[in-house]
Structure 1
Amino acid sequence: MKKKLGLASLTLVTASILAACGGGESAAKKDQQTLIVSTFGLEEDKMQEDVFKPFEEKYNVDIVLELGTSSERVTKLKSNPNSTVDVIELSQSNAADGAAADLFEKIDSTKVPNMDNLIDSAKELSADGSGPAYTLNSIGIIYNKEAAGMEIDEWEDLWDPSLKGKISIPDIASTFGPAMLHLASDYENVDITTDNGEAAFKGITKLAPNVVKTYSKSSDLANMFQSGEIVAAVVGDFAVPIISESNPNVEYIVPQSGTYANFNTINVNKNSKNKDLAYKYIDWRLSQEVQEKTAVSINEAPSNKEVVLDGETAKNKTYGEVAERTKKIDPLFVNENLKSWIDQWNRILNK
């Protein structure tokens, strides 16, 4: 079983590792390095099989995991300059927040050969030395058509009065919380960058009667659908298999009007003592070999352009025609306004 660290216990890992290196170990075990990876807690068993275990075997490494949401993990890193995290996987806006706080090593692309194989939009993201994107995801609507009593095919349908107390949306501090505000501003026919979200909160106020609960972890939606607590939700495509596997009556749609995208990126902690190994891990995560596997097992759309998906594998991913309909969110704009947005959001939805 992979070693995992709670967010509060990560600073103790160095002592634990040293204590574990006692006598009686094989030469290979003694030479084994440890890499601390901060990542999302989704589909951990499949991540073990397709990402972590093969990397450990290839490089004689012991991977120790720090699991949690993107926002709580970057906050943890910001508050602890002595963190022993080596690499951290984050959503785009949280990565921008960490970069602004000077937490990350500027990536030397010559040490990550697979960066040459990134899709153009991912290359643009890394042009300034930011950590490269290993996947692209976006939001759509997942719903139980029979329970909803209506067909949902556009974002504006979520505001329908018949859905009162029946939907869930991502919390503002989660990966796609800011995207939810962009959708609400679109509902009001206002570009959110022109008024810093004023119209968006008018839209959210109108939507509030329909929202029974906001969520921080998309895995929680499976239980909400199962219990009948909700009939529809806004969700990132990466979580669709988790929900649909336990709730076969739900379907996932991406409105023709478009969707909002997010890159998940990998950065190296500026204070990491294992930077060479961290670079190897990044290159591994970007490789065609790994991304072909994770596209199937954990529904990750590839950022490596050498990966070509068949129709079945491409389903429910930000790939092909869906990727062409994505709109970008400016993470710097989000981070400039996020504190104010969280305050307004909580007054409306988290009373």
Structure 2
Amino acid sequence: MKHIKLIITSIVLILLAVFTVATLKTEDKPIVVSTFGLATTQMKKDVLNPFTKQTGVATRTQFGDSAPRLVQVEHKKHSGIDVIELSQSNTQTAADKKILKKLDFSKLHNFKYLTSEQQQLARDTNGIPYTVNSIGIIYNPKTCGQLTEWNQLWNHRFRHRIAIPEITTTFGPAVLYLAGEHAGVPVAKDDGHAAFQSLARLKPNVVKTYTQSSDLTNMFKTGEIDAAIVGDFAVSMIQLSNSNLKYQVPMSRTYANYNTVSILKTSQHEKTAYKYLDFRISNAIQTRVASTTSQNSAPVNSSVHLSSTNSRNKTYGKVAQRARIINYSYVNSHLSEWINHWNKLMN
């Protein structure tokens, strides 16, 4: 009897050992992170390498623009990617097409440090916000005086003197929302009809609808424009070429755009993927990547406190408090129609 019990015990221990080794082999394998192609050196130095150091799990990385990376995982079910970082609009598309894993937020210790609006965005899309940008007005005070509000851009004195983002860019839909606010009719109330009428009144002032923020640098340099609507992520770059330019986020409001991080349904490393999501919104990493010497990314973790230098031109503090979240489920369902209308009107 003792001999049989010993054999059974040995078999159980062997099976447990095999299961443990198999589990470790699965979770210890490198996870594949698909992320943006900007500041890749800082991404490796300040996010990926520290994650490996803390967890012991290596990462492999795919860098590139948000939309092409989304198309890849959408059409290649076994891409090998575990975690994907996308723009808010693309995250909504991924959520609608059900390629993201439904998240258990109780597994994220740092989720509680997001605002209620950010948490709701995560619940709606299964994408955890990890950084945020918003729009403001960059302008030449020598030719514009002081610009403090969006409505000033409709003034006739700016005829052929301003630039705005193209509708297909990150903040293109936000411009339509601003036009709706100027008209006194929110976009969602009439599907943007009043907003386009407002844009028609703005059109004489618009010399260019741009797709690249870098275009603004040359336009200010040559004196082609006096003011532009721009995302805060581009302000420092533009001001490098002209330190006299000022950036103003109107007190009335601004519109936010989040980058989010999600786990793909096809991920084979769910446990490690959750660790990465939580790591991405931790105080230490959010503080590190917010530095001007790193990725200069605005934090979403409410426990992060930035210096005046690192908070400059970011959606942080009082600016973040007046930033409105755009419903990209609504935007994406209307975007094709809006693009056609925009092209007929503005181009």
> Same fold judged by TM-score > 0.5?
yes
1:348 matched residue in structure 2 = 345
Counterpart of 1:225 in structure 2: which amino acid?
F
Task: Give the CA deviation at 1:264.
Answer: 1.9
**What amino acid sits opposite 2:39 in the alignment?**
E
Q: 1:50 to 1:246 in 2, by over 3 A?
A: farther
Structure 1 vs Structure 2: percent identity of aligned residues? 43
The amino acid across from 1:171 in the alignment is E
SS of residue matched to 1:65: strand
Q: 1:49 aligns with which of 23, 38, 45?
A: 45
2:169 to 170, 174, 184: 174
The answer as to whether partners of 1:32 and 1:62 remain within 8 angstroms in 2 is no
Q: Which runs of 5+ in 2 are unaligned?
A: 1-26
Does 2:96 match 1:100?
A: yes
SS in 1 for 2:103: coil
* Residue type of the alignment partner of 2:42: K
The 1-side partners of 2:102 and 2:215 are apart by: 35
Offset at residue 185 of structure 1 (A): 1.1
Is the 8 Å Cα contact of residues 139 and 260 (structure 1) preserved in structure 2?
yes
CA distance in 2, matches of 1:173, 1:83: 27
Provide the residue aligned with 2:9 in structure 1. Answer: none
- 1:252 shift after superposition: 0.9
Residue equivalent to 2:135: 139
Distance in 1 between the 2:41 and 2:221 partners?
22
Separation (CA, whole Å) in 2 of partners of 1:331 and 1:50: 30
Once residues 175 and 203 of structure 2 are traced to their aligned partners in structure 1, the CA distance between those partners, rounded to angstroms, is 12
- Within a 5 Å distance, the mapping from 1:67-78 to structure 2 comes to 67-68=64-65, 70-78=66-74
Tell me the SS of whatever aligns to 1:158: helix
For the residue of structure 1 that corresponds to 2:260, the secondary structure is: strand
Pairwise CA RMSD: 2.5
Greater C-alpha radius of gyration? 2
- Residue 218 of structure 1: aligned partner: 213
The one-letter code sitting in structure 1 at the alignment partner of 2:61 is: V
The separation in 1 between residues aligned to 2:160 and 2:249, in whole angstroms, is 22
Query: Which residue of structure 1 lines up, in the alignment, with residue 288 of structure 2?
Result: 293
Q: 1:281 to 1:80 in 2, by over 3 A?
A: same
Give per-residue Cα distances to partners, 1:319-351, cap 9 Å, x unaligned: 22222222232222212211111111122223x
Question: Is 1:36–1:66's contact at 8 Å kept on the other side of the alignment?
Answer: no
> Structure 1 residue 37 and structure 2 residue 29: aligned?
no
Q: Does 1:328 align with 2:330?
A: no
How far 1:203 sits from its partner (Å)?
Answer: 1.7
Greater share of residues in helix: 2
CA distance in 2, matches of 1:281, 1:116: 16
Paired amino acid for 1:317 = K
Aligned pairs for 1:1-351 within 5 A? 33-58=29-54, 59-68=56-65, 70-128=66-124, 130-146=126-142, 148-297=143-292, 298-350=295-347
Moved more, 31-40 or 54-63: 31-40
Q: Distance in 2 between matches of 1:99 and 1:125?
A: 11
Q: Which position in structure 2 is the counterpart of 1:9?
A: none
1:23: which partner in 2? none
SS of equivalent to 1:306: coil
TM-score, structure 1 as length reference:
0.81
Shift of 1:202: 1.3
Deviations 1:2-28 (A, max 9, x none): xxxxxxxxxxxxxxxxxxxxxxxxxxx
Deviation, structure 1 residue 282: 1.5
Aligned to 1:17: none
3-state DSSP class of the match of 1:302?
coil
Unaligned 5+ segments in structure 1 are 1-30
SS in 1 for 2:258: strand
